[in-house]
Amino acid sequence: MCRKIGHAATLLILASVRFAHAQPAEPAALDGEKLFKQQCGACHSVVAGESGRQGPNLHGVYERKPGSVEGFHYSGGYEKADFVWDEPHLDAYLTNPQAVIPGSIMPYRQAKAPVRAAIISYLKEQK
């Protein structure tokens, strides 16, 4: 009986060691495009000329002034913003939109820095 349990335990340990080895040493690079589609795509398009959804079109958003998509009705804080959407501003905005644009109605927050970084580098390419 005891030997049987011992054997099972050994197998379990071996199995977990093998499982641990199967994991890559570094986490796989995050796919910004996939993350964007999953987390932003319902509200934002990145296709030039496509009309906004709940949020404005983000084609060419990188280094653009906040609130500059014509025809999109932003809440009041965007036109007062005196900066362009660069990495630090996008990073802070995706962490907490209201901290960067007071009164923003964008209902999204991302606490994970690597996820924000992957999405921002995808946005940079959309020009």
Residue 117: count of CB within 10 angstroms of its CB? 16
Nearer to ligand HEC, 44 or 45 (CB): 44
Nearer to ligand HEC, 5 or 90 (CB): 90
Nearer to ligand HEC, 6 or 76 (CB): 76
Distance CA 110, CA 93 (A): 9
Length of the chain: 127
Q: Rg of the chain's alpha carbons, rounded to an integer?
A: 22
CA neighbor of 46 nearest in space, from 113, 104, 106, 125: 125
Binding footprint of ligand HEC on the chain (CB under 6 A): 39-40, 42-44, 54-56, 58, 61, 66-69, 74-75, 78, 85, 94, 104-108, 110, 119
Instruction: Please report how close the Cβ of residue 28 comes to ligand HEC at its closest, in angstroms.
Output: 19
Instruction: Please report how close the Cβ of residue 12 comes to ligand HEC at its closest, in angstroms.
Output: 40
Instruction: Please report how close the Cβ of residue 56 comes to ligand HEC at its closest, in angstroms.
Output: 4
CA neighbor of 56 nearest in space, from 71, 38, 34: 71
Nearer to ligand HEC, 16 or 98 (CB): 98
Instruction: Please report how close the Cβ of residue 104 comes to ligand HEC at its closest, in angstroms.
Output: 4
Q: Are the CB atoms for 67 and 73 separated by under 8 Å?
A: no
